[in-house]
């Protein structure tokens, strides 16, 4: 089993974006400190044309999807975590002729509430992370037949945000997601490096920082990478 190449990456928010991460009064707030590893893997796949269109949504299976990609990502950690002030958001479900009664009864609370507040990540927040596996900047350069130093990806709810990804020479330590390791059958009992340092969300269970080479070797135990 080969250890994947580790490409250190900096991500910078180019537009505001939000996730329904944390419950707050009358709405949700985005998790400011981290970008999830799986979100970044999917975002990169979308930018690189690696997501096949489908007429119907496939059954959710993260391990299946991530095995098909030529890379996995670390958790991306913010250097300057910030959130914008709360803004109102309306979920407009009535433009196609109104609700059925059972829907009307449900729209006052929960995920179907039609008026709620969100807090977004602002422009200019910087994140450090890594991509394990095939180097996407080299891939893009080969396709474009020129040196590609920046990749723009979409993230956030409804892919409403833009991030700029650039390669970094500074090989900073990174954090992995123990929840993703669990999807591949790896647990802290198997690898002490997967011990959870920050329980950010149920599906973002962040390890302690580790050097890139150690992180790459750890990820290589999750799935096979081509040499």
- Written as tens digits, the pLDDT of the chain (227 aa) is 578 899 999 999 999 999 999 988 888 999 999 999 999 999 999 999 888 777 677 788 899 999 999 999 999 999 999 999 999 887 665 655 566 667 666 666 666 666 789 999 999 999 999 999 999 999 999 999 999 999 999 999 989 999 999 999 999 999 999 999 999 999 999 899 999 999 999 999 999 999 999 999 999 999 877 65
CA distances from 104 to 11, 91, 108, 109, 110 (A): 41, 13, 8, 10, 12
pTM over 0.75: yes
């Amino acid at each position: 089993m080969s250890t994947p190449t580790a490409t250190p990456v900096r991500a910078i928010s180019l537009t505001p974006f939000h996730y329904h991460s944390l419950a707050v009064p009358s709405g949700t707030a985005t998790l400011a400190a981290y970008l999830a590893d799986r979100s970044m893997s999917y975002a990169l796949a979308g930018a690189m044309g690696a997501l096949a269109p489908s007429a119907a949504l496939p059954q959710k299976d993260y391990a299946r999807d991530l095995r098909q990609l030529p890379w996995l990502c670390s958790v991306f950690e913010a250097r300057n975590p910030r959130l914008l002030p709360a803004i109102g958001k309306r979920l407009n479900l009535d433009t196609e002729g109104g609700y059925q009664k059972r829907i009307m009864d449900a729209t006052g609370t929960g995920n179907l509430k039609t008026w709620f507040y969100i807090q977004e990540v602002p422009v200019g927040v910087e994140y450090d992370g890594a991509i394990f596996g095939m180097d996407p900047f080299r891939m893009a350069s080969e396709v474009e037949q020129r040196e590609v130093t920046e990749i723009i990806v979409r993230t956030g709810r409804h892919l409403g945000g833009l991030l700029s990804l650039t390669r970094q020479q500074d090989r900073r330590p990174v954090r992995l997601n123990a929840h993703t390791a669990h999807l591949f059958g790896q647990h802290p009992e198997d690898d002490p490096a997967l011990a959870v340092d920050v329980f950010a969300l149920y599906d973002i269970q962040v390890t302690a920082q580790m050097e890139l080479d150690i992180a790459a070797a750890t990820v290589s135990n999750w799935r096979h990478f081509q040499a």
